[in-house]
Structure formats: structure tokens, C-alpha cells
Structure 1
Amino acid sequence: MIINRDTIIKAYEESEIGEYAIPHFNHSDFWDMSFIVEAANEKDAPVIVACLPRVAERYGLDKLTLMMNFYSKHSEVPIIYHLDHCHDVDFCKRAIDAGFHSVMIDAASLSLEENIKTVKEVVDYARPRGVFVESEIGQIKSAGEEGYTPVSFKATVDEAMKLVEESDVDSLAVSIGSEHGFYAHAPELDFELLKRIKEKIPVPLVLHGGSGIPAKDVKTAIKHGIRKVNVGTEIRHTYITSLNASISENGAGVHTIDLFEEARIATKAVLGSWIEIDGAAGKGRKTYEK
């Protein structure tokens, strides 16, 4: 399947009609990248496979997109490749040129005016090249960062409206109380804020920090307008712990293929669970056929 901005918009339109979220899974290397693609096809779900800039820098933009374009071309469901939380405009442009289907320019730590200016620069570069762009309003940080509380960095409706209207961005990550990483406390999502933003914002809304949010809260967020749910920490944690267990059990003499099989099984189980929570199972081929 050829993936571009038009097909991504179409996938989001389907999720809006069906009231589900497109699962977004961060990968760390080529192994867990393949696990995500396998899980998506087995669950018949559209997915967004994402990496952070540090992963892209380590493996190389061209190598990653070469592999992902192969997966996208031969997959029976939409496989969208996305650069997550990039703070650098030039790196976003490099990712676009390398063949990423979607990029997130994260300028949320800047003033609203600078955020808009930065996002618009990426949008203006991406749009004629058929690439989808995500931005962020409020700040979605990691628990434990100095001076951070989920309440202090929440999005506002007015700022969300202004950012979308003036930047013409394609989707918006909204800070409604979620955090990156595992939670040190029970997460408290501001569903009333989400509903108000949804009423005013015409583009798909994104929930970051999915790892550790109870399934019932994720489903409530989807009910109130979230159309993409990001999960990274739980996948990486499962991948590493299962790999460690396999090494401990089998020793260093085991073949790499066998060593990674336990990680594959465990990671795909988590991926499959999230696809079900997001309500995306059974939606992939339907999106593809249309």
C-alpha cells in the first residue's frame, strides 16, 4: 500500500467514523519494528510505527525508511512510519526527504507564537511532499522532570485553536494530564478539557503517554475524541525484560533467532492488547480496501 498524507487522512477519517484510535507504537530497533508490523497484520489493524530522533540518528534515516517502505508496500494493512517528538525543524525536513510518511514537530516548550511559526515551517515543507505533520499543545513531559506536574502544563482550548488555525497542522497532541514513561501515581486525564478541545478542533487529536493509563480511561478518551494513542515505554520494557529472561534461561550460546523469539512473543502480546484497547482490530483491511 502506498502511504502518503492523503491515505493517512483517510485512515483518520475511518477512525472518526468508527470511533476508534489508530495505535501508535514506538520501536527501538529493527527487531521490535518487525514485531509491530506482524502484530498489525495479525490483528488486521492500521498502525503507526514510530521512532524518536535518537533512534533515527543511530540507525540512519535512509535505512529505517527503506525497511519501513518495504513493510508498507507488502503489508495487508496500513503501516504508517512516523518520526516522533522531533524538536529540530531541519531534522524533520531530513526525515521527510528520506521517506517518512509522517513527522511530529514538537515545539510545545516554546511560546505559542514560536510554536506556531515552527510548526508552520514544517507544514509548509511537508505539504507539497505529501507528508503528514503532527504538533503538540501544552507540554507532555515525563514524570520526575523538575517543576513538572500534569496540571501545570495542560493545553488550553484557545491555544489549541490558534495553533491549528494558523499553522494548518494535520493532527494535534493535547496535554490533558498524561505523562511519558511509567506513572508514579494513578494518571488523571482531564476528559472535560478533551471534550472542549474536540468541539473546537477539526483535526485528529492524539494522546501521548499511553503506557500505564488504565484501559477504561483510554477508551473514555477515545470516546471523547482521541484518534491516536501513543505507546512506547511499555513496549520497550516488555521487549527488554523478555530478552533478558531469554538470555538468563538459554545463555549466550543460543542463536540470535531463538534468543529473540521469546521477546517476539511477549512484545506482540502487549501490542495485540493495545490494538484491542484502541478498538482498531479488524479495521486495517477495511481501510486498505477503501
Structure 2
Amino acid sequence: MGKNKLAKFANMEGYPHVFQYPFAVLQEKGFEMKGKWNEKFFKNDNPIILELGCGKGEYTVGLAKLYPENNFIGVDIKGARMWSGAKQSLEEELSNVAFLRTHIELLSNFFEEGEISEIWITFPDPQMNKVNRRMTSTRFMKLYAQFLKPEGVIHLKSDSNFMFTYTSEMVALNRLNVLFKTDDLYNSDLVDDILSIKTFYEQQWIARGLNIKYIKFEYSPKEEWLEPEIEIEQDSYRSFGRSNSQILTKRAHE
């Protein structure tokens, strides 16, 4: 591990709004704030909103600044990236922001049933060959049931036509209520402050002329979730690793 990453991890160990729990510690001691985030950390009764796979935390911080009446928690397993948003929110003294370093599959260890009001999923890996790893798959819908309120809201923002199509089919098949849906967000009729927030990767995709897709739908617990069984054309432009910023930047300016 590079010195820069080690320095960032060391910094975050002292950040009061960053929570890092190794699995072994979680198994042994559990998480003392489960079900008590409002009471013990945020000190208010405002809704709690998660950003899953928050990366650098652009959305977590941006939304927190736009909507101070809500609480926001960015979740990611890669702490070196999360450091950017954690540092910014600390410097700007945003009291409605926290960051949690863990695997998404472990979130039920940190949040009680009905504790979360909304989920944001921003530019996830579409996992075109691994349906169970897609963050809008029925596997994850069942996971979200453990902490998302009934009729809670899920947002997906993506450059991937594959991910957008899959999610739209999953939502339709399971008869979830769509609140907004577009395959070209910045040329849609959505009037919302969220349009002002663009992640690092989103700016790269836009620069390459790719449409940004967005779907917002209500979650509804179900006894049985139906998995779409359709063929979806795979994204042809994802042959390179999405974390390779040098390639992204180069192609963005071609």
C-alpha cells in the first residue's frame, strides 16, 4: 500500500464522522449505533439517506449541502477514495454527513429495520455477467428490506445502458412505483438541484458524449422478488477498468 493511502487511512482514523469496522470486530462486538444513528450521532430526527458505493463522496457531500434537513451517509469499502468527501465535509463543518467504510452486503449490521429513508446508487459497476452483484438486483432488493423503510425511495444514476435497462425491467416486473425515469437526464424535463452534482466519473462520461440515465422508484417489500430473464445488449465501451482515471481522461478529450 502506498504512503499516500496510508496517510489518508491514518487521517480518517481521527475523523469523528467516519466509521470503519473490520468484519472481525463487527462479529465480536457488533455496532453500538445500530438503530440509534439519529439519537447518538446526528442528534436529530431527520431522515437518513445512504449513498452506496460513494467513491469520493461527491454526492454525499453535495446532497448534504443542498438538503440540510436530511442526514446523509456515504458507504464504500475503498477508504482512500472516501477520504476526499470525508475531509471536505469535516472542513466545511457539515453536521449532517457521515461515512461508513464497509461492504454493502454487511449493512444490516449497521442499520435497524426502517432506519433508512432513501438510497442513492451512483454510477455502480453494472456487473454485466454477474446478476447477483448488481446493486439493483433482486438479491440487493432483499438486502435493502432489512433497513429501508417501506415506500422508501431508491435512486439510480448511471452512464450504463445495460444497468439502466436491467433496473427498469426489474422495477416493472416487480410492479414498483416509478417516480421519474429518463435515459437522457440532462436533456429531460427534471427540474431538481441534484443536476448540479456531477461525480468525477460522470464528468468523464458526459465529456465522451454519453447520456446519463436516471430512475427514481419507490421500494416495496415483497414475499417473492422476480428476476428479469431477458437478453440485454452489453455496454461496448467498458472494456477498460472504470478506476483507471488516466484512460478515462484521455478518452474524454478525444
Please indicate the TM-score interval, normalised by the length of the shorter structure: 0.3 to 0.5
Larger % of strand: which?
2
- Higher RCO (C-alpha 8 Å, min separation 6): 1
Q: TM-score, normalised by structure 1?
A: 0.31
Larger % of helix: which?
1
